[in-house]
Amino acid sequence: MSTAQYIDVSVADTIATVALNRPDVRNAINDALRTELMATLERLANDSDVRAIVLTGKGAAFCAGGDIAGMQQRLNEPPGQIAFNGWKRQKRTHQGMSFLHGISKPTIAAVNGAAVGLGCDLALACDFIIASERAVFAMSFIHRGLIPDGGGMYYLPRRVGLARAKELIFTGRRIEPEEALHIGMIDRVTKADTLLAEAQQWAASLSQGSPTALALSKGILDESFELSCEQVLALSREAQAICYTTTEHRQSVAAFLDKSKK
């Protein structure tokens, strides 16, 4: 288990479960939580015993977004410093979101409650989203006079299409799990008491294959919308050449040939 203040981590059977742990403020993200989350993800990314990551929240919410206390503090800063300080904070946030999105292992957001604002972006940065029947989603930035700043303007259109993403961002309205599933914003809905177990089981099934092949496939797929077919094929050639050299590939071919001889 983790000893961090705002992040709780457990690892069982190669699956790491990472829980945001500020339930008293619905797991709102402040500087300390963001720093701990980034450090945790970096550690898990480099841990060969971890094959997949499940991200969830403690208590009733997944993540209520950015911490209002931080917003209030920003408003009280000297006017001449607000923009640059905000830029620096945004840069740290974006580094964390980009790392989560690009981590070379399957990631699943197990959304146990509200995922709004930056919390919704956080879920969307994962490869897959499974939601409790008690979950609710909202790109609620517009209600604070803000724009989606955690990658949602990139991730959301790729899940639901451009026009629908505009509607959800322009209105900031609540999306219940069944609608989110229907429009492709999330991938599965389940009961609250089985959410974590189902997410962990799903993570295990996604991570049974070669870690090298998984990492290379994920990296190419995540870029495929921005690349031409020929560019994807070129990256695939390079990745396959690496796969040819791996222990997993060699053992798999040897096992198949050995079985065919019997």
Q: How far apart are the first and last CA of the chain?
A: 46
**What does the block give as tokens for 238?**
């390079």
Cα separation, 237 vs 230, whole angstroms: 10
Which amino acid is located at 166 in the chain? Answer: K
Cα separation, 73 vs 85, whole angstroms: 11
**CA torsion, ordered 113, 117, 123, 127, to nearest 10 deg:** 150
Radius of gyration (C-alpha) of the chain in whole angstroms: 20
94 is catalytic: yes
* Residue 212 parent element (H or E): helix 211-223
Cα separation, 111 vs 114, whole angstroms: 8
Cα separation, 215 vs 198, whole angstroms: 23
24 is catalytic: no
Identified catalytic residue from 8, 67, 127, 149:
149
Contact by Cβ (8 Å): 202, 186: no
Identified catalytic residue from 47, 94, 143, 182:
94
Token look-up 């970096």 returns 42
**What does the block give as tokens for 152?**
């949602």
* Residue 137: closest CA among 194, 181, 97, 170: 181
- Residues with active-site annotation: 94, 149
